[in-house]
Amino acid sequence: MEKILFLTGRLAQKALERVLLNIEPTNFSWEIKQIGLQVAGLMTADMIRRRLKEPLDDFDRIVVPGRCRGDLDMLSIDLGIKVIRGPEELKDIPRFFNREGPKMNISNYDISIFAEIVDASKLSIVDILDKAEQFKRSGANVIDIGCLPETEFGHLEESITELKNKGFKVSVDSLDPNELIRASNAGADFLLSLTPETLWVINEVSSTPVLIPSQPSDEESLINSIEHFIKIDRDFYADAILDPIPFGLVNSLCRYQRLRKLFPEIKLMVGVGNVSELTEADTIGINTVLIGICSELRANAVLTTHVSDHARRSVNEIDLARRVMFAARENHSLPKGFSDDLLTIHGKKPFLDSYSEIKSTAENVKDPNFRIQISNDGIHVYNRDGLLTEKDPFAFFPNLKLDDDSSHAFYMGVELARAEIAWRLGKRYSQDRGLSWGVAADDPGEDMLTHCQPNATLKRRKGKKNDL
Among positive and negative, which fits the CA dihedral 69, 74, 77, 83? positive
Q: Is the pLDDT confidence value at 457 over 80?
A: no
Burial class (CB in 10 A: 0-12, 13-18, 19+), 395: middle
For the entire predicted model, the pTM comes to 0.84
| pLDDT value of residue 451 | 53
Q: Which CATH class name applies to 2-96?
A: alpha beta
At 334-391, the pLDDT tens digits run 998 899 999 999 999 899 899 999 999 999 999 999 999 999 999 999 999 999 999 9
At 292-347, the pLDDT tens digits run 999 999 999 999 998 999 999 999 999 999 999 999 999 888 998 899 999 999 99
**Alpha-carbon gap, residue 326 to 343, rounded angstroms:** 18
| pLDDT value of residue 448 | 63
**Alpha-carbon gap, residue 21 to 7, rounded angstroms:** 16
DSSP H helical ranges for 186-248: 219-232
At 32-77, the pLDDT tens digits run 999 999 888 899 999 999 999 888 999 999 999 998 999 999 999 9
User: Which CATH code fits 112-330?
Assistant: 3.20.20.20
Rounded to 5°, angle at Cα 108 from 107 and 114: 105
At 294-304, the pLDDT tens digits run 999 999 999 99
How many angstroms separate the Cα of 82 from the Cα of each of 8, 57, 69, 457?
Answer: 17, 12, 16, 34
Domain ranges of the chain: 2-96, 112-330, 355-461
**Alpha-carbon gap, residue 372 to 412, rounded angstroms:** 9
